[in-house]
Amino acid sequence: MSQSSEPVIYLEQTEQSVLVGALELFKRGEYSLAQPVFEQLVGLNSKNYIALYSLAVIESIKGNIETALRRVNASIDIAPGFAKSYLVRSILHRNQRSFHEALSDAQKAAELDPTLVESELQIQSLEEEIARLSEQSMETLQPSPEQPAQIISVMGQADQFTQAGQTDLAIKAYQEFLNIPDVDHKYIAMFNLAVLLNQSKRMDEAVALLKQSIQIKIDFFAAYLSWGTIVEQMGKSDEAIEIWSTAFNHALIEDPSNLETKIKLLNNIGRVQENLRRYDESEASLFKSLIADPNQGPVLHHWIHLRQKQCEWPVVYGTVHTQEEVMSSASPLSMLGLSADPKDQLNSALKFVQEKVGRFERMVPFKHRYGHAKLKIGYLSSNLSMHAVSLLTVELFETHNRENVEVHAFCWSPEDGTPFRERVRSAFDHFHSIAGLSDEAAAELIKSLEIDVVVDLQGLTSGARPDLIARGAAPVQVAYLGYPGSSGMPYVDYVVADHFIMPLELLPHFSEKPLYMQTVFQVSDSKRPIAATPSRESFGLPQDQLIFCAFNNNYKFTPEVFESWMRILRACPNSVLWLLEDNVWSKSNLTKSAMAHGIHPDRLRFAGRIHPADYLARFRAADLFLDTTPYNAGTTANDALWAGLPILTLSGKTYVSRMAGSLLNSVGLTDLIAFTHEEYEKKAIELYLNRGLLDRYKNELADAKANGRLFNTKVFCGEFEAALKALFQ
């Protein structure tokens, strides 16, 4: 989408502040307070499409459908490129039972903003509803001399009540229809009534009606889908799976006309199974879905990640997709671990941006100078909570020199109720919750506050809001930590780096320019507590053997890395490999793979997840950390070194494969960086044979930490602030 079709509103500062305040009230659900403010804004500026859109939403919530339509139509007339207005109008048309108009608007919203998940769900739901009603119109809705279209009549009556906001009367109309003896099409009325009851939070009654509708029409699969969804919302995940499985196992589901429903049943089952951490069952369900329709990119990537989590090798198998097909369509995040070629990673990111991210004119010119006495830095993230990114950055937020900078958070993180979350929140001068704001409104907020530098801590990871970043709401936008690769995003100007993690030969494979730190790219938190050093016996580890460990997430393990580990164990007979146990399937598969390489299962030991302070102390029970590649340890490498455990890493050609090497390079432990599997294995074996050398590395780490050379947040912060200020000079 080009934002050239969307008019730019030049608001006075006062008007902009009023809009931001109204949007905050709107976000909190205080509609009675927000509405008169939005109306005042429209009175002041009739072109304020955001206020018109907001009024349409409020009127819709109040059930004033016609008024809402007038508001949203005015918003669209002013800003035909504002996707969310079409989505609201789609919902309004749907309430009026104008399904084809609703579908057209939902498709327009998806076209303008491909990341608007709600529009995709609306399209899917509308297509189902149109198909269902079309089928019913052929099979059951034709009026007959005996039954003169009674169901059509009651549906129209109920819709009129619903449009008027009189849901209770719509419910009553269906109930009265169902009390008529021997009336046809009761299952349709039951389904529609169940929808209304569910919307009114009368879930038990809705479920009872859906069950009855299925008793009347045993292959009424739409009822199975809705029944399972309601039951899942009630917290009964196992029951939801059972309901959807019953529908999937029905003989008539194999009818070609039910293919789309069959796929939705399988995807629902797989999604809930994964939520329940039944990875093997989820993988099997999604594989059946891919057999039914191989052209499901998100399902394919989800299935691959499930196999990676379980260390199911080879990751891609069967006749559905080839390795080449997977690589050509892989998501940017999955590509970090699938390919060691930086070209592949950049192409994947660019493809994602091309297909999923809107096209916008930059809101604030590059390196525009506001002329503030203090540089305004705004950090964007959904992970400002008990998350790896914040565990690294919290002390940076606290350390910023308030004489030189003003620090803002733009946060859409969930409240986890932890003291750490409160520490993160307190580290900022200004903390803006933007969870309830649209990308457009959030970008306007950033612009109105005249933020000089936006630091995106999210990248293309789960929960990202790329259409917020792609609007260019600040003069300089910097990528940091959250996504260890090129985002391919427009208006992300720089990526934080050092000269090891981003050598000159890597520059052509990044859309961002490097913002070089002189010491190291990664920041850390020196205040994190480490528990007392535990005994090996407490973990069931042998006292007299060398302990290799690899506490990376299991999805980072690859067959090639595991084979290197097995060769190391064969060459180092008096040693064990201590791994993180993500799940029972990865443990089983890793054990079987070790046996296939001639390694006894006892030489693999597994550790569960524990409290952060105990987790850090656990590193001290090991002798050497063996890193993964092409997806290196990031936060885990930081943790290991901070706890005093040396890391042996294998650095490749990509940014993500050079993270641990960067950390080692910053403290002069370059001997622990390998560049081939052969060198990696040779160094591990040398350290096994020369324990004195291993002890020397531990002493050097301890000395670096004691003398402030290991993760000195104050030094990093000074370098970071200086680098940012230099951009405007």
Closest by Cα among 244, 286, 245 to 267: 286
Q: Grade residue 326 by pLDDT with cuts at 50, 70 and 90.
A: confident
299 pLDDT exceeds 50?
A: yes
Residues 658-678, mean pLDDT to the nearest whole number: 98
Helix or strand or coil: residue 316? Answer: coil
How far is Cα 587 from Cα 581, in angstroms, rounded to an integer? 6
Least confident window among 154-158, 588-592, 609-613, 710-714? 154-158
Between these two residues, 2 and 254, which has the higher pLDDT value?
Answer: 254
Domain-located, residue 379: yes
CA-to-CA dists, residue 511 to 228, 380, 456, 630, angstroms: 44, 20, 15, 20
Q: Grade residue 15 by pLDDT with cuts at 50, 70 and 90.
A: low
Q: Do both 280 and 422 map to the same domain?
A: no
Check residue 278 and give its pLDDT. 96
Q: Do both 405 and 490 map to the same domain?
A: yes
8 Å CB contact between 480 and 455: yes
DSSP string across 151-196: HHHHHHHHHHHHHTT-HHHHHHHHHHHHTSTT-S-HHHHHHHHHHH
What is the bridge-based pairing of β-strands 647-650 and 673-674?
parallel
Domain-located, residue 167: no
Check residue 116 and give its pLDDT. 67
Domain final position from 320, 355, 390: 355
**Residue 307, domain CATH:** 1.25.40.10
Residues 192-205, mean pLDDT to the nearest whole number: 92
Domain-located, residue 523: no
Q: Do both 488 and 572 map to the same domain?
A: no
Check residue 165 and give its pLDDT. 84
Check residue 17 and give its pLDDT. 59
Structure tokens at 383: 């992970």
Phi, psi values for residue 467, rounded to 5°: -75, -15
713 pLDDT exceeds 80?
A: yes
Sign of CA dihedral 183, 184, 187, 188: negative
Contacts of residue 73, Cβ cutoff 8 Å, sequence gap at least 6: 89
Q: Grade residue 202 by pLDDT with cuts at 50, 70 and 90.
A: very high
Residues 235-263, mean pLDDT to the nearest whole number: 94
Domain-located, residue 561: yes
In this structure, how many other beta carbons lie within 10 angstroms of the beta carbon of residue 464? 21
Q: Grade residue 123 by pLDDT with cuts at 50, 70 and 90.
A: confident
Q: 619-639 pLDDT, tens per residue?
A: 999 999 999 999 999 999 999
483 pLDDT exceeds 50?
A: yes
CA-to-CA dists, residue 123 to 2, 87, 510, 662, angstroms: 22, 10, 35, 46
Between these two residues, 579 and 321, which has the higher pLDDT value?
Answer: 579
CA-to-CA dists, residue 6 to 9, 116, 447, 471, 674, angstroms: 9, 17, 17, 12, 52
Domain-located, residue 54: yes
How far is Cα 687 from Cα 694, in angstroms, rounded to an integer? 6
Domain final position from 123, 139, 159: 123
Domain-located, residue 161: no
Q: 35-46 pLDDT, tens per residue?
A: 877 887 787 778
CA-to-CA dists, residue 131 to 87, 124, 128, 210, angstroms: 20, 11, 5, 19
How far is Cα 643 from Cα 64, in angstroms, rounded to an integer? 61
97 pLDDT exceeds 90?
A: no
Q: Do both 47 and 182 map to the same domain?
A: no
Closest by Cα among 224, 227, 289, 301 to 262: 289
Q: Do both 17 and 108 map to the same domain?
A: yes
8 Å CB contact between 85 and 75: yes
How far is Cα 496 from Cα 520, in angstroms, rounded to an integer? 9
Mean pLDDT score across all residues of the chain: 89
How far is Cα 684 from Cα 701, in angstroms, rounded to an integer? 18
First to last CA, the chain: 33
Domain-located, residue 727: no
Domain final position from 104, 123, 142: 123
**Residue 417, domain CATH:** 3.40.50.11380
666 pLDDT exceeds 60?
A: yes
Q: Grade residue 162 by pLDDT with cuts at 50, 70 and 90.
A: confident
Helix or strand or coil: residue 65? Answer: helix
Closest by Cα among 626, 624, 591, 592 to 606: 591
8 Å CB contact between 103 and 133: no
How far is Cα 600 from Cα 596, in angstroms, rounded to an integer? 9
Q: 583-594 pLDDT, tens per residue?
A: 999 999 999 999
Residues 650-678, mean pLDDT to the nearest whole number: 98
Residues 381-405, mean pLDDT to the nearest whole number: 95
Q: 671-702 pLDDT, tens per residue?
A: 999 999 999 999 999 999 999 999 999 999 99
8 Å CB contact between 478 and 493: yes
Q: Do both 259 and 213 map to the same domain?
A: yes
Q: Do both 203 and 339 map to the same domain?
A: yes
Between these two residues, 3 and 23, which has the higher pLDDT value?
Answer: 23
Q: Do both 381 and 308 map to the same domain?
A: no
3 pLDDT exceeds 50?
A: no
Q: In the chain, what percentage of residues exceed pLDDT 90?
A: 67
Give the domain range for residue 413: 375-516
SS3 content of the chain, % helix, strand, coil (to 5): 60, 10, 35
Q: Grade residue 197 by pLDDT with cuts at 50, 70 and 90.
A: very high
Between these two residues, 21 and 269, which has the higher pLDDT value?
Answer: 269
The total number of structural domains in the chain stands at 4
Helix or strand or coil: residue 140? Answer: coil
Q: Do both 438 and 473 map to the same domain?
A: yes
Structure tokens at 164: 């008027």
Q: What is the chain's length?
A: 729
Between these two residues, 322 and 67, which has the higher pLDDT value?
Answer: 67
Q: Do both 457 and 342 map to the same domain?
A: no
Between these two residues, 100 and 455, which has the higher pLDDT value?
Answer: 455
Place of tokens 């940076």: 396
Check residue 18 and give its pLDDT. 65
Check residue 485 and give its pLDDT. 96
Check residue 45 and give its pLDDT. 79
Q: 518-529 pLDDT, tens per residue?
A: 999 999 999 999
Cα 444 to chain centroid, rounded:
23
How far is Cα 88 from Cα 70, in angstroms, rounded to an integer? 12
What is the bridge-based pairing of β-strands 494-497 and 624-626?
unpaired
513-516, strands of its sheet edge to edge: 430-433, 405-411, 375-381, 453-456, 476-479, 494-497, 513-516
Q: Is the pTM value of this prediction over 0.85? A: no
170 pLDDT exceeds 70?
A: yes
Q: Do both 549 and 630 map to the same domain?
A: yes
Q: Grade residue 128 by pLDDT with cuts at 50, 70 and 90.
A: low
Q: Grade residue 138 by pLDDT with cuts at 50, 70 and 90.
A: very low
How far is Cα 633 from Cα 629, in angstroms, rounded to an integer? 8
Q: Do both 542 and 477 map to the same domain?
A: no
Q: 374-389 pLDDT, tens per residue?
A: 999 999 999 999 889 9
Q: What letter represents residue 434's amino acid?
A: I
8 Å CB contact between 526 and 548: no
Domain-located, residue 154: no
Structure tokens at 325: 């097909």
Residues 390-408, mean pLDDT to the nearest whole number: 97
